Amino acid sequence: MEHGHDDVSRPRTLVIIPTYDEARTLPVTLDRLRTAVPWVDALVVDDGSPDGTGQIAEDLAQDDPAVHVMHRTGKQGLGTAYVAGFLWALERGYDVVVEMDADGSHKPEQLPLILEALDDGEPGPSLVIGSRWVRGGAVENWPRHREVLSRGGNTYTRLCLGIPVRDATAGFRAYRASALRAIPLTEVASQGYCFQVDMAWRVVRTGGAVREVPITFVERTEGHSKMSRDIVVEALWRVTVWGARHRSQQLRDALRAVTRR
């Protein structure tokens, strides 16, 4: 379906798929995506994958005008890949921008639920997160320690930052373009899970509403997980620093309000 614009009443939607060594999973993921939501466009952001993912993406794009490819040199990280994709989408006038993994952990068949929630009247949410930790959400093939780490990290994030989100680290999500325009994207330096928390918190701080819809997250069966101890430590450290700043600012504001009386 050409360029994903078969229905003018639908918001122009771009799905950003960052890749690094996803040669085996990318073709399946794109095929499922184009079947589940044939009217969206896709942008593969490849960080110079040594396994040839970038060339595979190019071949797929040759056959499908709704698939686009951005090549970056070397492994620069998830956060910068998404920021590059966001800027690409905004330059080209997309209305909705989606984050999705290439490894099959995010089911493209669940994307319509996320997009439906984003398009739910005006003003509606600025960000919809496909959430594992709301009622109806689930994970498959996850060891117990990963679940404990994720649930605990998200609870800690909610308490530190005061954001009303149960799965702030989730990477399957859709933003309104207007929400991304309200954020100074070139200043977003965080990576990994931390990037997802950072973006959700920035949406909240710029006055946007966040909604969560339940999804089933499937642990990848091909390749290797990109999660590492360093990513977890970075996320906890940054959230702690942000939380301390946030709470001290709240305290200063409260003291100012009292002294004005």
Tell me the whole-structure pTM to 2 decimals: 0.88
Range of the domain at 239: 2-260
Q: Report the CATH number at residue 59.
A: 3.90.550.10
- Could you tell me the sign of the dihedral formed by the alpha carbons of 101, 184, 168, 119, in that order? negative
% of residues, the chain, pLDDT over 90: 69
Q: What is the pLDDT of residue 214?
A: 97
Q: What is the pLDDT of residues 68-91, one digit of tens each?
A: 999 999 888 899 999 999 999 999
Residue 4 has pLDDT above 50, yes or no: no
Query: Which residues, including other chains, have CB under 8 Å from residue 147's CB and lie 6 or more apart?
Result: 139
Q: What is the pLDDT of residues 127-170, one digit of tens each?
A: 999 999 999 999 998 888 889 988 998 999 999 999 999 999 99
Q: What is the pLDDT of residue 122?
A: 67
Contact 22, 102 (CB under 8 A): yes
Assign 38 a pLDDT band (cuts: 50, 70, 90): very high
Region of poorest pLDDT, from 50-54, 93-97, 183-187, 230-234: 230-234
β-pairing, 41-46 vs 13-19, is parallel
Question: Number of structural domains, the chain?
Answer: 1
Distance CA 168, CA 174 (A): 13
* Mean per-residue pLDDT over the chain, rounded: 89
Which amino acid is present at 170?
A: A
Distance CA 104, CA 25 (A): 7
The residue ranking higher by pLDDT, 24 or 247, is 24
